[in-house]
Amino acid sequence: MKAVVVQQSSDLKTEMNSENTVLVINDDIGFFIAVTSRLMDRALNGRLKKYGVSFGQWPFLMMLWAEEGLTQRELSRRVSNEEATTTRTLDRMEADGLIRRKANITDRRQRIIYLTSKGRSLRDKLVPEALAVSELTTGQLTLKEVAALRAALKKMVGTLKEPLR
């Protein structure tokens, strides 16, 4: 069995067993992805708040701008959220006048989600804010590096989602 040690500096090495498996936090991809995600979330959240939208609502808005008329379950799956979290977020979005829910005429247990005119109108305001955060985040990368990063992250997401299907 391999032991894993999380350390603060790549200068520190700790031998835990005969296989010498060491995870150095400064070299860990997961750590950098998590930190990058949190920092991007904060940057975007500050911009979204000006429009009365929370960061938790952002992926639902993006998905609904692309395709309305999804069930809550499908929307939850597409944004990789737990269904309970999706329900709470959609409750808030409905209270804020961003979405409306309609019963599915073929299955009354399902709720179909549609944007309101207010929800649709936010697209032209919020997308430039998100693009500005992306530009800030990737501004020091070349176009080739951005493309490679995007491709690698998509592959990683696909790999992690596969066992969940």
Residue 164: per-residue pLDDT: 66
Residue 11: per-residue pLDDT: 43
Residue 21 pairs in a beta bridge with none
Asked whether residue 141 is assigned to any structural domain, the reply reads no
Q: Assign residue 80 the CATH number of its domain.
A: 1.10.10.10
Per-residue model confidence as pLDDT tens digits over 40-64: 999 999 999 999 999 999 999 999 9
Do residue 88 and residue 66 come from a single domain? yes
What's the order of all strands across the beta sheet hosting 111-115?
70-71, 111-115, 99-103
Provide the residue type at 35 as one letter.
V
Asked whether residue 156 is assigned to any structural domain, the reply reads no
Structural domain harbouring 44: 1-49
CA 70 – CA 67 distance, rounded (Å): 7
Residues in the chain with pLDDT values less than 50: 1-18
Do residue 27 and residue 86 come from a single domain? no
Asked whether residue 101 is assigned to any structural domain, the reply reads yes
Do residue 8 and residue 71 come from a single domain? no
Percent helix, strand, coil in the chain (nearest 5)?
A: 60, 10, 30
Residue 13: per-residue pLDDT: 43
Number of domains within the chain: 2
Asked whether residue 148 is assigned to any structural domain, the reply reads no
Do residue 125 and residue 81 come from a single domain? yes
Residue 102 pairs in a beta bridge with 112
The SS3 call for residue 158 is helix
Tokens 């936010």 belong to residue: 122
